[in-house]
Amino acid sequence: MTAPEIKLQGMTGEALFADLSLIACRAALQAGKLSLVAATIDTVAERITQRVRDCFRWVARIDSTNAGQVSINATERFDVTAEDASLVAECDVKIEGDKIRLG
C-alpha cells in the first residue's frame, strides 16, 4: 500500500505479523492504557527522557546500571534499605548533613 497519506479508523482493530519492521522519522502514540507483554525488550537510543507522576518498578532478580556518572536528586527524602549494603570509592567519600548517625 503506497499513498501520500493513509488513515485507518475503527472501533476495534487487530494486526498479526510473524515479523514486523517499522521505520519512521517521527512516531507518536497516544493511549489511555498501554499494555506490553514481551519475553525480551532491547532498546537502543541516543537519549531517553521520561516524565511521570509516579513510577513503580518490581525487579525479581537484578537491577544493574552501568554509567559514566549517576546522579540522584530527591527533594524530600532518600531511603536505601538492604540486607547488606556496600559503598566503595577509589578516592573520596563525602557525607554532609546537620546530623549524621552511624550504628
pLDDT in tens, 12-27: 999 999 999 999 999 9
CA nearest 1: which of 68, 11, 15? Answer: 15
pLDDT in tens, 30-82: 999 999 999 999 999 999 999 999 999 999 999 999 999 999 999 999 999 99
Name residue 51's amino acid: R
Instruction: Round to the nearest angstrom and report the end-to-end CA distance of the chain.
Output: 69
Rounded Cα gap, residues 83 and 90, in angstroms: 24
**Residue 18 grid coordinates:** 510473524
Rg (alpha carbons) of the chain, rounded to whole number: 22
Which residue has better confidence, 1 or 44?
A: 44
Which residue has better confidence, 1 or 63?
A: 63
Name residue 1's amino acid: M
Write the burial class of residue 75 (CB in 10 Å: 0-12 exposed, 13-18 middle, 19+ buried).
exposed
Please tell me the pTM assigned to this model: 0.68
pLDDT number for residue 100:
93
Write the burial class of residue 41 (CB in 10 Å: 0-12 exposed, 13-18 middle, 19+ buried).
exposed
pLDDT number for residue 52:
95
